[in-house]
Amino acid sequence: MATPGSIKLDCVVLDCLDPVGLARFYGELLGWKADEPENGGRWVTLRNPEGGVHLAFQRDLDFRPSTWPSGERPQMLHLDFAVTDIEGQHRRAIELGATLLQDPPADFTVYADPAGHPFCLCACGVQ
């Protein structure tokens, strides 16, 4: 079946209380630059310099972070970042404000960003 026109994933949006602060965290972690905040700081977009999927952050005053791994408030999604130096990126993530949630194998580590969204640093299969 033919699709009308084209479609591609453009952006992943995370709800949070402080879009500017969370954009700053991920901008520093990834080395990406943020657009100027929109709507009085209620929306901030980080542009992928390689032209891929962008990250955006929107203010949700009712936002409550996941309690993963407990399951009381499950995660709705999480971000996986491929890294070549997991130890160096681990230190960087912690310095920037991430919280270590689970440190299983040496090539895969789970964190929460400053707003409480789980994310992973993965050296699985990275050369």
What span, in angstroms and rounded, lies between the C-alpha atoms of 24 and 84? 22
Q: Give the three-state DSSP class for 2.
A: coil
Angle at the Cα of 87 from the Cα atoms of 55 and 123, rounded to 5 degrees: 60
pTM of the model: 0.86
Note the pLDDT tens digit of each residue in 38-86: 999 999 999 999 999 999 999 999 999 888 888 788 778 889 999 999 8
In the chain, the domains with their CATH numbers are 7-63 (3.10.180.10), 65-127 (3.10.180.10)
Q: Between 19-30 and 86-96, two packed helices, what is the crossing angle to 10 degrees?
A: 160
Note the pLDDT tens digit of each residue in 84-100: 998 999 999 999 999 99
